[in-house]
Amino acid sequence: MSLPLLVDSHCHLDFPDFDAERPDVIERALAAGVHKMVTICTKLRLEPQVRAIAEAYPQVYYAAGTHPMSAADEPLVSVDDLVALTAHPKMVGIGETGLDYHYTADSKEIQKTSLAVHIEAAQRTGLPLIIHARAADDDMAEILTSHFKNAPYTCVMHCFSSSTALAKAALDLDFYLSMSGIAAFPKSQELRDIFTAAPLNRILVETDSPYLAPPPYRGKRNEPSYTVHTAQKGAQAFGIDYEAFAKATTDNFHRLFAKAI
């Protein structure tokens, strides 16, 4: 009997954590039923390396952008630069981008500028925006909403662990919320409640590996095969069987990341 298919909608396969065994990591994901992965470029000067991973493995796609925590240290990307990257058949999303005031509040203005560039690239290409939001809920909701009113776009709130208010603002725009290993932590019931208050057709799953491994691997290096453990917890939270949750989140992924066929 074949395993239910899952997608790891956000991982970082180019990180050094995987250098010694990248083929094995991908093989373990496939063996677990994780049949597609999106590896995320967080600094555009590293885009060639990230792209090369997607080119090397049929099951891997990629997205590219400037992470908000790097916005002050990396050259400001142009809309045209981002749009040009989307010509590659396996480049399926814009980002990750966003706002992070937890560690890098001092760069909030350049983060906002960078975010606006990425939003415009998503508007122009039709590819989904991939958002990182931390300790910036009010600004995040206002910026996403105001730009959407100017020109609609699609978006996933990656590794969502923010407030009910930001979840509502995103869902009001028909955006998606992505469950990471954080949602599987024992003390994350309040976060699980935010997810289960959302429509099931707006939920994705991810690892954000090598970070945020779900139980029973918490504290260890995360990898795409562990998407299964987060999905199992998600199914439990939604009160449905694992197969139904896997199918729903996989269908959601294909609806949002329509280029990842």
Residue 19 resides in a domain: yes
Distance, in Å, from the CA atom of 118 to the CA atom of 129, rounded to the nearest integer, reads 7
pLDDT tens digits for range 50-105: 999 999 999 999 999 999 999 999 999 999 999 999 999 999 999 999 999 999 99
**Cα 252–253–257 angle (5° rounding)?**
125
Q: Which residue has the tokens 């978006």?
A: 155
| Count of domains for the chain | 1
Residue 10, domain member (yes or no):
yes
Amino acid at 37: M
Decide if 145 is inside a domain: yes
Beta pairing class for 6-11 and 60-64 = unpaired
At 1 the pLDDT is 63
Residue 148 lies in a domain: yes
* pLDDT value of residue 2: 82
Residues β-bridged to residue 157: 131, 177
Tokens encoding 234: 């998600």
Residue 261 lies in a domain: no
- Report the mean per-residue pLDDT for the chain: 97
pLDDT at 3 over 80: yes
CATH code of residue 140:
3.20.20.140
Contact yes or no for 145/168 (Cβ under 8 A): no
Q: How far apart are CA 120 and CA 85, in angstroms?
A: 14
pLDDT on residue 137: 98
Check: pTM over 0.95? Answer yes or no.
yes
Per-residue pLDDT at 34: 98
Residue 82 · residue 118 · CB < 8 Å: yes
Closest listed residue to residue 178, CA positions, set 218, 205, 201, 142: 205
User: Quick one: tokens of 135?
Assistant: 């300790």
Q: Which amino acid is at 186?
A: P
1 inside domain? no
pLDDT band at 261 (very low <50, low <70, confident <90, very high): confident
Segments forming the whole domain that contains residue 59: 6-256
Rounded distance between C-alpha atoms, residue 212 and residue 205, angstroms: 13
Q: What's the whole-number mean pLDDT along residues 197-210?
A: 98
Mean pLDDT over 11-38 rounds to: 98
State the Cα–Cα distance between residues 58 and 55, nearest whole angstrom.
Answer: 7
pLDDT in tens, 139-186: 999 999 999 999 999 999 999 999 999 999 999 999 999 999 999 999
pLDDT tens digits, one per residue of 117-136: 999 999 999 999 999 999 99
Quick one: pLDDT at residue 92?
98
Inside any domain, residue 221:
yes
Pairwise CA distance, residues 258 & 204, whole Å: 14
